Amino acid sequence: MMIKDKYIDPFTDFGFKHIFGNETNKRFLISFLNDLLDLNDKIVDISYRNLEKLGLNIIDRKAIFDVYCTDEKNNKFIVELQRSQQKYFKDRSIYYTSFPIQEQSEKGDWDYSLTKIYFIGILEFAFDDMRRKENRHDNKYLTKVQLHDCNDKSVFFDKLTYYYLEMPKFRKKEEDLATHLDYWLYYLNNLASLTEIPARLKKDELIQGAFDVAEFLALNKAEKFSYQQDIKARWDNKACLDFAIEQGIEQGIEQGIEQGIEQGIEQGIKQGIEQGIEKEKIEIAKKLLETKMDLSLICKTTGLSENRVQKLKNYE
pLDDT, tens digit (0-9, with 9 covering 90-100), for 6-58: 999 999 889 999 999 989 999 999 999 999 998 988 999 999 987 554 444 44
Span of 173-187, 206-220, 289-303 with lowest mean pLDDT? 289-303
Question: Distance between CA 244 and CA 276 in Å, rounded?
Answer: 5
- The answer to whether 115 and 104 have CB atoms below 8 angstroms apart is yes
Q: Check residues 300 and 257 and name the one with the higher pLDDT.
A: 300
Percentage above 70 pLDDT, the chain:
79
Residues 6+ apart with CB under 8 A from 108: none
Angle at which helix 306-314 crosses helix 295-302, to 10 degrees, equals 120
Mean pLDDT of the chain: 82
**pLDDT class of 135 with cuts at 50, 70, 90:** confident
pLDDT in the model for residue 287: 74
Query: Rounded to 5, what percent of the chain is helix, strand, coil?
Result: 55, 15, 35
pLDDT in the model for residue 177: 96
pLDDT in the model for residue 167: 94
Span of 171-175, 178-182, 183-187, 234-238 with lowest mean pLDDT? 234-238
pLDDT, tens digit (0-9, with 9 covering 90-100), for 248-272: 556 655 655 555 555 555 565 566 6
- The answer to whether 117 and 157 have CB atoms below 8 angstroms apart is no
Give the type of residue at 226: S
Question: Is the model's pLDDT at 61 over the cut of 50?
Answer: no
Question: Is the model's pLDDT at 168 over the cut of 90?
Answer: yes
- The answer to whether 232 and 1 have CB atoms below 8 angstroms apart is yes
Percentage above 90 pLDDT, the chain:
44
- The answer to whether 89 and 121 have CB atoms below 8 angstroms apart is yes
Phi/psi of residue 82, nearest 5 degrees: -125, 115
Question: Is the model's pLDDT at 201 over the cut of 50?
Answer: yes
Q: How many Å is the Cα radius of gyration of the chain?
A: 21
DSSP state of 179: S
Question: Distance between CA 223 and CA 210 in Å, rounded?
Answer: 16
